[in-house]
Amino acid sequence: METSITINRTVLTVVRGDITTIAADVIVNAANTSLLGGGGVDGAIHRAGGPEILDACRRIRAKQGGCPVGEAVITTAGKLPASYVVHTVGPVWNGGDQDEEELLRDCYRSSLALAIQHGANSIAFPNISTGIYQFPKALAAEIALEAVAEYLCELPDETHAPKRILFVCHDAENEQIYRERLGDCL
């Protein structure tokens, strides 16, 4: 089942599944500042994509020393059906008074900017920070949808706009939250 809305020139869709199986131009990874892999979706992406992705992350790390929270870097997608992986680093939830909301918003904005620079027509996001980093799921969904919608609305007419953005929910709770939130926009 799909829930979709159109914002400006882009269709936003909620799906339930494993982001490593999605043949989007860009899939986004919820990485950490080391860029050296971890658990959750990061572990799944590196496992399924193979060592090429980690090699590319290591090269970026050698150049710029990892990736700060809220920023993003782009690599090959290795053996995945996607073309690129954008690795962004979400904030760890620490109660909400450490700029977590703005940093999460930055993750979506910097990932979109990088994906659009690479000409992506389709971009798939996981629910950044809502696993190991324990960001409250409803608040994270609100920020994700708002940040993406705002970004698309602000895109200049002459800029390439992605045709499709997927919010890939791995767990039932996130799926329900996203469907309700997106449904409210219909």
Residues with a known catalytic role: 42
CB of 155 to ligand AR6, least distance (A): 26
Nearer to ligand AR6, 65 or 119 (CB): 65
Angstrom distance (rounded) from CA 134 to CA 91: 9
DSSP code of residue 20: G
Strand 26-31 and strand 122-125: pairing? parallel
- Residue 75 bridge partners (DSSP): 85
Residues lying near ligand AR6 in the complex (CB under 6 A): 18-20, 30-32, 38-42, 44, 90, 126-133, 168, 170-171, 174
Q: Please report, in angstroms and rounded to a whole number, the separation of the first and last CA atoms in the chain.
A: 16
Q: Which residues contact 176 (CB under 8 A, 6 or more apart)?
A: none
C-beta of residue 93 within 8 angstroms of C-beta of residue 136: yes
CB of 47 to ligand AR6, least distance (A): 9
Nearer to ligand AR6, 32 or 75 (CB): 32
* Burial environment of residue 167 by CB neighbours within 10 A (0 to 12, 13 to 18, 19 or more): buried
CB of 97 to ligand AR6, least distance (A): 19
Nearer to ligand AR6, 10 or 32 (CB): 32
CA 149 to chain centre: 14
Angstrom distance (rounded) from CA 70 to CA 106: 5
Nearer to ligand AR6, 39 or 68 (CB): 39
CB of 21 to ligand AR6, least distance (A): 8
